[in-house]
A and B are shown apart, each in its own frame.
Chain A
Amino acid sequence: MSNKVLHVLYNDDDILMDAVRRTRAAHHHIEEVYTPFPVHGLDKAMGLAPTRIAIASFLYGLVGLSVATAMMRYIMIVDWPQDIGGKPSFSYIQNMPAFVPVMFELTVFFAAHLMVITFYMRSKLWPFKQAENPDVRTTDDHFLMEIAVHGDENELVAFFQETGAVEVKVIEKH
């Protein structure tokens, strides 16, 4: 019973959005929605929590800034404070303008790369990963909404057929 899901297919993103809203209003739980392209506002309609990846990225940027500062300070000021072309290596702040390009680049580098890696990890994406596509058409021109079946199956199918679906399938999930 709990392994059964509905696959409801649509061929238009406007109809999909409308169906998502009606499904939510009828308190059916949407397991997943598969679309061939980003549908603007779909996350809001589904009631998904906003992403926190920007916050992660900001923190990674701070890490990058710290790494650059600590590295340049240790190498240029602490370890071997040579006079290179008259640049003042007495303290970090005195020679800081020369380090700013490095500080900037490492901030961006850490923020960007660690954010991307975080994205891959959180969305479970990696090479040789088995594709989780329930229907090949969803990468081309169809939209698929997956709903867990609770209660009366026929009533549920009837409900989704009314939402403008082009196809409603009952699938046994393993």
Chain B
Amino acid sequence: MYTFSSKLRTFAFILMVLGALGVGYSFFTAPSTVEEAEAIVAAGHHGGHGEAEHHDETAAEAHGHDAAEADAHNAAEPATDSVVVNHTEEEVAHTAPDSASPVAIEEHADTLAATAEAHHDAASPTGDAAEAGHEGHAHSEVAAAHEGHDAHADHDAHKEHAEHVFHQLQNKPWAALYVAALFFTLLSLGALAFYGIQNAAQAGWSPVLFRVMEGITSYLIPGCIIVFLLLVAGVLHFHHLFIWLDPEVVAKDHLIQGKSGYLNGPFFLIRAAIFMGGWIFYRQYSRKNSLLQDEATDNSYYKKNFKAAAAFLVFFIVSESIMSWDWIMSVDPHWYSTLFGWYVFASFFVSGITTIALITLYLKSRGYLEYVNTSHIHDLAKFMFGISVFWTYLWFSQFMLMWYADIPEEVVYFKMRIENYNLPFFGMVVMNFVLPILILINTDFKRLSWIVVLAGTIILCGHYVDFYNMIMPATVGDQWFIGAGEIGAVMFFLGLFILVVFTTLTKQPLLAKRNPLIEESKHFQY
């Protein structure tokens, strides 16, 4: 029997308290009015301003390029005399594509944002007349793009933009909470899928790890409840992560109107409840049978678990696919991708396997898993390696097909991420593919605990960033930052995860006794 070490328990509580403080802080500092949001953006950008002043050369270069572009625009569009320079450069730079506005405007706004940004660099050191005139051009273009050529256009665009940023900043703490809650819940679901596969495939190596997997899947119950509450909070308009839940947005948006048969609050929650219910039911049922099998005199419970696993896997692949449309893809209701379900699955499946490996190594190091040898660790590491490559395959397939065809309504998804999330977007490919493939390709390395822990930590962090990249661009846009709210939410859910998982591990012996494959598993050698 495993006893929960008091140090680990204290550590989990500390994580939860610090995490809750971080989350609370981020909610406390989120703006409650448009004016506050403007102040936050202005404060944030003065720092950037100071930095820009140190790069005069770059600025000059950018300016030259910018001028040429502006001239081209001038030639194409009739010159206007509505040069109202009441904007600061920062505000223009942040005319980010509104996810609710039609695609054409998004495209246009992107070029404008780039233009304005280059200009913002140039204007800071010396504000001469030529530049001021140039600024005017940039502004009139922004105004023209949004509202037409009247003098009030600037003001309206400004107001609209400020409101947009305000919503993004208000979304920030919610999105941070949602990403972390979803990540840990799906990680636990990934472990459950792995458990189901091991049962259905009658794998001979893994039964000594079944209790560890059952421990990890126990987080599914609190995790699903929290995610469900966050979804309910969305339907009740406590937060605005899902813009299709906002009737005002839907009223103006034909694309979302066309999808409202699927994307509507009640149906959304019913689907979520069915999926979560199905997963939790399988988890509880298989755990119960697995424990009963320990005391049984025949293999009937083992057979029941086998059949349940087969049925669950069918249910899982359907529900997982729909879940990924509902909970993740629908934050971008104008965008769709056919292999998205697989992509999300690969992401949390590899995270789940990695978690199994890490917890197994921890318990082994404490002397609790007598029969787990380096061959078991080697197998888990092979799965981590293989599924990491599988994830990369899907990531690249999704990216490359859209990049190659470059159809505007598809490609905005990646355009947004590459422009505003460059480091997280490409950094996660390094963390989820390049590092694991180089670290875990060696057979000897896959047997070393510290290597597997190192690779596992990189993979888990990488897949958190993956979920971050899926949710954040649509909810907070270019206002993203990994700060108190994001780290706090991860810490809180990590603490809760440790607490729930290790508490479950103390409930039952860590070795399944009468599993028909347990002897083979005990003597597994690779």
Contacts and interface: CB of A to CB of B under 8 A. Distances in A.
Interface of A: 54, 58, 86, 97-98, 100
Contact of A97 (B399, B441, B443): B399
Contact of A100 (B396, B441, B443): B396
A16 to B, nearest CB: 19
B403 A97 contact: yes
Contacts of A100: 396, 400
Interface of B: 396, 399-400, 403-404, 406, 441, 443
B403 A58 contact: no
Contacts of B406: 86
7 nearest CB pairs, A to B: A97-B400, A97-B403, A98-B404, A100-B396, A100-B400, A97-B404, A97-B399
Contact of B443 (A54, A86, A98): A54
Nearest to A86: B406
Nearest to A41: B525
Contacts of B403: 97
Given A97-B403, A100-B396, A100-B400, 7 more contacts: A54-B443, A58-B441, A86-B406, A97-B399, A97-B404, A98-B400, A98-B404
B432 to A, nearest CB: 16
A58 B404 CA distance: 30
Contacts of A54: 443
Contacts of B441: 58
A58 B437 CA distance: 12
B417 to A, nearest CB: 14
A105 B267 CA distance: 45
A86 B408 CA distance: 14
A34 B400 CA distance: 51
Contacts of B400: 97-98, 100
A58 B396 CA distance: 22
A61 to B, nearest CB: 10
Contacts of B399: 97
A45 to B, nearest CB: 14
Contacts of A58: 441
Nearest to B393: A104
B374 to A, nearest CB: 15
Contacts of A86: 406
Nearest to B525: A41
A155 to B, nearest CB: 36
Contacts of B396: 97, 100
12 contacts: A54-B443, A58-B441, A86-B406, A97-B396, A97-B399, A97-B400, A97-B403, A97-B404, A98-B400, A98-B404, A100-B396, A100-B400
A54 B444 CA distance: 12
A97 B392 CA distance: 13
A51 to B, nearest CB: 11
A88 to B, nearest CB: 10
A54 B14 CA distance: 46
A100 B404 CA distance: 12
B464 to A, nearest CB: 25
A98 B402 CA distance: 11
Contacts of B404: 97-98
Nearest to A54: B443
A97 B404 CA distance: 8
A86 B411 CA distance: 15
B45 to A, nearest CB: 29
A113 B70 CA distance: 55
A98 B396 CA distance: 11
A97 B399 CA distance: 9
